[in-house]
């Protein structure tokens, strides 16, 4: 394919990274179910291991099926390159790995998925890293949290669970002034609704498990590099700007330019952390992305109808959907997510914790699962599940208090989903 930037999103979601198989002419990307690849000769092998030539060595590092997915996601996000891995949580660690070191920190939004808050507040401490959580809407608080040891700002485009939209342009300016990257989790928006790189993001992470795959079959993650950050502008990122001992003093930023982060994540990140995506999982995600735009249009259409209905229901205290006129984030929708505010939001149910639990148990079409972004409509009570590890104050700060239910609106008939919510609310608030 040529002139990819001139092609439409719908064309790219089908064709990017999916050239016919040169050996067989297969139109769909084959599943290359292999661990290793035969070298042409000893010199070929040496060049691959020295990063002097691009190719396949071992499937912990690279695999043709996974490579096709990486190219497709990077193309849709407008990035220079991408690296896929085993899950969204793995992608977050992959994004931070080349940037961090003992004693270094990140500034992170307080409104993140509960598992991410736990990863950043607890798990990364074992590496000697730390996170400072702030209200990402408060630019002054973000600036104040940055110090000499800060290596990134991290946020979600559309926050999980509340559906709040981040001012990516404002955050990018703060990150640029500090000489650090802005990392954006674009899972809940997808590249169809938002392109964080166009708003100044350096790195974009995805849980490909969610909307990109879209059918709840496989887990996966991806890190997309914009290729626009100057890793040598200061001394904060030695892994990329200084000689790498494992590759005979190679300086990734000098030798690989816009692809420095991507190659580092493969040659060192996947090599040493081993958080590999399997080729069959990549195949499922490639097939899912082919219908991404169609699904997201229906997700958004349904979410708008259902959020509006819920907002007018007396059994509901409030709805956090950013597409509603009542939302303080409505003004950011045309700027950040011009095609719609996504399909993830929360509702506050009158009756508190007990009513929320009864609502979840009474729904019939909605599936009670710890997932989002499926074609099916999903529901969960975060305070008793995904955000259970957090203190109540943290739950409230994350938009996941005891009276909150999270809805991930699917692509079913909207009237059926409203009827299901109606009968469940009647039982929950009786």
Q: How many CB atoms lie within 10 A of CB 78?
A: 18
- Confidence band for 19, pLDDT divided at 50, 70 and 90: confident
- Confidence band for 396, pLDDT divided at 50, 70 and 90: confident
For the chain, give the percent of residues with pLDDT over 70: 99
Is it the case that residue 2 has pLDDT exceeding 60? no
Q: How far apart are CA 224 and CA 81, in angstroms?
A: 6
User: Which DSSP helix (H) or strand (E) runs through 106?
Assistant: strand 105-109
Here the contacts of 419-424 (C-beta below 8 Å, separation 24 or greater) are 420/363, 420/364, 420/365, 420/366, 421/306, 421/309, 421/310, 421/363, 421/366, 422/313, 423/362, 423/364, 424/359, 424/362, 424/363, 424/364, 424/366
231 compared with 399, residue with greater pLDDT: 231
Give strand pairing partners of 150.
Answer: 105
Q: Provide the mean pLDDT of the chain.
A: 95
Per-residue model confidence as pLDDT tens digits over 242-267: 999 989 899 999 999 999 999 999 99
Domain ranges in the chain are 9-288, 292-428
Residues 142-172: b if buried by 16+ CB within 10 A, e if exposed = beebbeeebbbbbbbbbbbbbbbbbbbebbb
Average pLDDT over residues 3-15: 84
Q: What is the pLDDT of residue 129?
A: 98
Per-residue model confidence as pLDDT tens digits over 49-81: 888 899 999 999 999 999 999 999 999 999 999
Q: How far apart are CA 228 and CA 210, in angstroms?
A: 27
In this prediction the pTM is: 0.94
E strands in 139-220: 150-156, 182-185, 203-207
- Confidence band for 3, pLDDT divided at 50, 70 and 90: very low
Q: How many CB atoms lie within 10 A of CB 221?
A: 25
Is it the case that residue 4 has pLDDT exceeding 70? no
CATH number for the region 9-288 comes to 3.40.640.10
* Fold that domain 292-428 belongs to in CATH: 3.90.1150
Is it the case that residue 393 has pLDDT exceeding 90? no
194 CA to centre of own chain: 12
Full DSSP string of 284-314: HHHHHHTTHHHHHHHHHHHHHHHHHHHHT-T
For the chain, give the percent of residues with pLDDT over 90: 88
């Amino acid at each position: 394919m040529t002139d990819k930037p001139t092609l439409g999103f719908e064309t790219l979601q089908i064709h990017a990274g999916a050239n016919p198989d040169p050996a067989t002419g297969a139109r769909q990307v084959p599943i290359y179910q292999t661990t290793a690849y035969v070298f042409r000769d000893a010199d070929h092998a040496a060049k691959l291991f020295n990063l002097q030539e691009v190719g396949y060595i071992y499937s912990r590092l690279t695999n043709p099926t996974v490579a096709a997915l990486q190219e497709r996601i990077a193309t849709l996000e407008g990035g220079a390159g991408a690296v896929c891995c085993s899950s969204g949580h793995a992608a977050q660690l992959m994004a931070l790995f080349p940037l961090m070191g003992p004693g270094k920190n990140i500034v992170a939004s307080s409104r993140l998925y509960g598992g991410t808050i736990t990863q950043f507040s607890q798990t990364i401490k074992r590496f000697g890293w730390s996170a400072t959580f702030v209200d990402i809407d408060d630019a002054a608080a973000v600036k104040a949290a940055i110090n000499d040891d800060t290596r990134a700002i991290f946020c979600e485009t559309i926050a999980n669970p509340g559906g709040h939209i981040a001012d990516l342009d404002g955050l990018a300016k703060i990150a640029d002034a500090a000489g650090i990257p802005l990392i954006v989790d674009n899972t809940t928006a997808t590249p169809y609704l938002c392109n964080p790189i166009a708003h100044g993001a350096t790195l974009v992470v995805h849980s490909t498990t969610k909307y990109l795959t879209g059918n709840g079959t496989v887990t996966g993650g991806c890190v997309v590099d914009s290729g626009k950050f100057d890793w040598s502008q200061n001394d904060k990122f030695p892994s990329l700007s200084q000689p790498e001992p494992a590759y005979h003093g190679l300086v990734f930023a000098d030798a690989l330019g816009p692809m420095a982060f991507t190659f580092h994540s493969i040659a060192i990140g996947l090599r040493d952390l081993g958080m590999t995506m399997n080729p069959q999982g990549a195949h499922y995600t490639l097939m899912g992305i082919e219908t991404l735009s169609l699904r997201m249009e229906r997700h958004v259409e349904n979410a708008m109808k259902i959020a509006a209905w819920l907002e007018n229901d007396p059994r509901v205290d409030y709805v956090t959907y950013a597409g509603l006129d009542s939302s303080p984030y409505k003004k950011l929708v045309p700027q950040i997510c011009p095609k719609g505010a996504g399909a993830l939001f929360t509702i506050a149910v009158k009756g508190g914790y007990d009513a929320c639990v009864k609502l979840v148990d009474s729904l019939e079409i909605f599936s009670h699962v710890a997932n989002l972004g499926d074609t099916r409509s999903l529901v969960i009570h975060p305070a008793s599940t995904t955000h259970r590890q957090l203190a109540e104050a943290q739950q409230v700060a994350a938009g996941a208090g005891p009276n909150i239910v999270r809805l991930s609106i699917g692509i079913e008939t909207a009237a059926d989903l409203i009827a299901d919510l109606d009968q469940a609310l009647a039982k929950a608030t009786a």
